C-alpha cells in the first residue's frame, strides 16, 4: 500500500487528477472514509482530469451519476443503507464492461459483493492539534486489490509521488 498526505481539498483534487492519467476502461475505485474526509473532492478532481465539464456532486438521491468525459465516469455513493442493496442490484460488473470508469464512495461497504479488482483509497483525518492547524490534512492510503491494480502499482506510486508520506504516530493516533 501507499500512503499520501494532502493539506487542502485542492491538493486532494490534484492527486486525483494525477491518478486519472492512468484511467483505463473498466477501472473501479472504491473510496472509504468518514463524512467530510474528501471522497467527493477526490471524485471532482478525478472527473475534471477525465474532461468532465459538469459539476460533480454526491449522488445522494440518485444512485449513480454518469458524466461524459474522455472516459465515461460513473459516480456512486452507498452512504444510505438502502443504497447498498440497490448497488448490488445495479450490476456493477455490467457497468464496468461499458467502457467507463467507476468511482464508489463508501465502496468498502459493498466491496465483498464487487469484483475483487479495484483500487481502494482510505481517507482519514489526522489527530487535530489544539490550534486547528491540521484541520485540512488528510492521509490517503491506497490499496490495490486484484490483478488490474497490482500490475499498475508502480505507476500509481509515481502518480501520487508528490504527496507520498509515511504517516507519523501523531497522525495515525491510535487508529
Ligand atoms: P466526503 O465526500 O468524504 O464526505 P467531501 O469531499 O464532500 O467529503 O468534503 C470534504 C470537505 O473537506 C470539503 O469541504 C473540503 O473543502 C474539505 N477539505 C479540507 N481539506 C481537505 C483535503 N485535504 N482533502 C479533501 N477535502 C478537504
Ligand atoms: Mg461525498
CA gyration radius, the chain = 15
Q: What is the pLDDT of residue 78?
A: 86
Q: In a 3-state reduction of DSSP, which class is residue 150?
A: helix
Q: What is the pLDDT of residue 58?
A: 84
Residues whose CB falls within 8 Å of the CB of residue 140, separated by 6 or more in sequence, listed in order: 3, 4, 5, 6, 12, 15, 38, 121, 122, 123, 160, 163
pLDDT above 70 as % of the chain: 96
The per-residue b/e assignment along 26-55, b for 16 or more CB within 10 angstroms, e otherwise, is: bbbbbbbbeeebbbbbbbbbbbbbbebeee
Please check the confidence at residue 116 and state whether its pLDDT lies above 70.
Answer: yes
Q: What is the pLDDT of residue 101?
A: 97
Q: What is the pLDDT of residue 173?
A: 63
The per-residue b/e assignment along 65-99, b for 16 or more CB within 10 angstroms, e otherwise, is: bebebebbbbbbbbeeeebeeebeeeebeebbeee
Tell me the pLDDT band of 174, cut-offs 50, 70 and 90: very low
Could you tell me the three cell numbers for 109? 461497504
According to DSSP, the residues that pair with 103 across neighbouring strands are 29, 75
For the chain, which domains are there? Answer: 2-129+143-163 (3.40.50.300)
Strands 101-105 and 28-32: parallel
Evaluate: CB of 136 within 6 angstroms of ligand 1: yes
Check: pTM over 0.85? Answer yes or no.
Answer: yes
Please check the confidence at residue 175 and state whether its pLDDT lies above 70.
Answer: no
Q: What is the pLDDT of residue 168?
A: 84
Please give the mean pLDDT across all residues of the chain.
Answer: 91
Q: What is the pLDDT of residue 52?
A: 98
From 3, 5, 6, 9, the mutation candidate for ligand 1 (largest count of ligand atoms within 8 A of CB) is 9
CA of 97 to the centre of ligand 1 (A): 30
User: How large is the average pLDDT for residues 146-158?
Assistant: 96
Q: How far apart are CA 108 and CA 122, in angstroms?
A: 9
Evaluate: CB of 69 within 6 angstroms of ligand 1: no
Q: How far apart are CA 95 and CA 28, in angstroms?
A: 10
- How do residues 15-47 score in pLDDT, each as one tens digit? 999 999 999 999 999 999 999 999 999 999 999
Q: Which residue has the cell 464508489?
A: 104
Evaluate: CB of 38 within 6 angstroms of ligand 1: yes
From 41, 44, 167, the mutation candidate for ligand 1 (largest count of ligand atoms within 8 A of CB) is 41
Tell me the pLDDT band of 169, cut-offs 50, 70 and 90: confident
Burial of 152 (0-12, 13-18, 19+ CB in 10 A): middle
Tell me the pLDDT band of 131, cut-offs 50, 70 and 90: confident
Amino acid at each position: 500500500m501507499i500512503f499520501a498526505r494532502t493539506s487542502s481539498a485542492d491538493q486532494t483534487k490534484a492527486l486525483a487528477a494525477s491518478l486519472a492519467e492512468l484511467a483505463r476502461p473498466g477501472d473501479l475505485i472504491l473510496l472509504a472514509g468518514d463524512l467530510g474526509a474528501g471522497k467527493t473532492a477526490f471524485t471532482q478532481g478525478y472527473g475534471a482530469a477525465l474532461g468532465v465539464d459538469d459539476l460533480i456532486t454526491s449522488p445522494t438521491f440518485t444512485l449513480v451519476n454518469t458524466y461524459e468525459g474522455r472516459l465515461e465516469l460513473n459516480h456512486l455513493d452507498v452512504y444510505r443503507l438502502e443504497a447498498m442493496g440497490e448497488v448490488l442490484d445495479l450490476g456493477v460488473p455490467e457497468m464496468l464492461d461499458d467502457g467507463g470508469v467507476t468511482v464508489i464512495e463508501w465502496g468498502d461497504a459493498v466491496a465483498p459483493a464487487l469484483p475483487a479488482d479495484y483500487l481502494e483509497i482510505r481517507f482519514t483525518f489526522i489527530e487535530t492539534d489544539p490550534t486547528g492547524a491540521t484541520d485540512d490534512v488528510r492521509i490517503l492510503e491506497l490499496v490495490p486489490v486484484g490483478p488490474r491494480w497490482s500490475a499498475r502499482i508502480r505507476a500509481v506510486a509515481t502518480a501520487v509521488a508528490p504527496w507520498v508520506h509515511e504517516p507519523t504516530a501523531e497522525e495515525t493516533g491510535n487508529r
